[in-house]
Amino acid sequence: MAFSDGQADFRSDTVTRPTAAMRAAMASADVGDDVYGEDPTVNALEERVAGLLGVEAALYVTSGMMGNQIAINLLTRPGDEILCVETAHVRNHENGAASANSGVAFRTVTTSGGQISPETIARLTAESGYHLPSITLLSWENTHNYSGGTVVPFDVLVAGSEAARSHGMRVHLDGARLWNAAIASGVDLAQWTGITDSVQVCFSKGLGAPVGSAVCGSKDFVEAARAVRHRLGGAMRQVGVLAAAVDVALDEWERIDGDHTLARELAVGLAERFPLSVNPSPETNMVLLHEQGCSVPLKTIETALGEAGVRVGFISPTMLRFCTHRDVNSDDVRRVLGVVDMLVADLPTNR
């Protein structure tokens, strides 16, 4: 369902607004000073998240980026390199935080779908030597945003993680959308986290909570993470008012399956109109429309949709992304397809 102003916003799954139930929970949340560890709502949430993810402990943090940056800070040393795919969020979209805060650089791999093979890990670590930086952390992103919410398959993640460990590396998982990966793959949340040293999960994306993420791992890791969070200015006080909304979101996290169904509905519709430019079977909640092979320029599509009250976003100059989430529905998908139909009907070849 579009927002109350009639806008349907497909730019990201971060645009959702808290539900009435979340707002009610926020209003009545039992709170305390979380810096003293005395906010009961936060404490309960961290315990719940740890249980759900099958890890020893979890820490509520302000954002996905803070969760990633805390993990990087704890699992590397200045001068190290992090191995990740070229299009990883930690490398491209965190304002250079890993370099600025932790003094590390990135060794990147160009692959599709966020996957890194054991062979690549072996080759790159063999190239590391006396004069070269040490690659000490492998960072996965699942689902992989830039590829259109694709799932890094479980066996790929296990094989890569084991290879990384055999070369002395630690393993972090940017699971901003691990919820989507778990639902799409049928592989339990706890299985994904079982092979990593740290995982970051976002509550403010498909789950629809207004604020926050958790960074998770062993008890020792989370104790150290608490100190780094403080150092980064991320220690909050009566933050149970936010955690309460997350608690409501977690009651129904599996509803994101519906976002995946909606994404397929949209992708099939777009692929009927632009068969060369859209994958009709997206794996999760993102649909990419590519400029190549598209009979209407993407800019024209974006503008026409905007005039019809539909917002979409470019994730590169040649790629429009449609993201489904709890605040869009089938009516909004029909609105998109209706606009596209008008543009296609206007093409000179059809006159």
Q: Which is nearer to ligand PLP, 90 or 294 (CB)?
A: 90
Q: Which is nearer to ligand PLP, 107 or 172 (CB)?
A: 172
CB of 47 to ligand PLP, least distance (A): 22
CB of 175 to ligand PLP, least distance (A): 8
Segment 49-88, which members bind ligand PLP (CB under 6 A)? Answer: 63-65, 68
CB of 85 to ligand PLP, least distance (A): 11
Say which residues have a Cβ less than 8 Å from residue 245's Cβ, sequence separation at least 6.
18, 22, 23, 25, 26, 209, 210, 211
Q: Which is nearer to ligand PLP, 217 or 269 (CB)?
A: 217
**Separation of alpha carbons 316 and 300, rounded Å:** 15
Cα-Cα-Cα-Cα torsion 21, 22, 28, 29, nearest 10 degrees, comes to: 140
Q: Which is nearer to ligand PLP, 202 or 340 (CB)?
A: 202
* 202, two tokens: 């976002």
Segment 82-141, which members bind ligand PLP (CB under 6 A)? Answer: 89, 141
Angle between helices 64-75 and 219-231 (to 10 degrees): 110
Interacting residue with ligand PLP among 115, 193, 204, 324 (CB under 6 A): 204
Interacting residue with ligand PLP among 87, 147, 213, 277 (CB under 6 A): 213
147 binds ligand PLP (CB under 6 A): no
Q: Is 42 exposed, middle or buried (0-12, 13-18, 19+ CB in 10 A)?
A: buried
Say which residues have a Cβ less than 8 Å from residue 197's Cβ, sequence separation at least 6.
71, 75, 170, 171, 172, 217, 218, 221
Q: DSSP state, 210? A: S
Q: Which is nearer to ligand PLP, 69 or 136 (CB)?
A: 69
- For ligand PLP, the binding residues (CB under 6 A) are 14, 63-65, 68, 89, 141, 145, 174, 176, 202, 204, 213
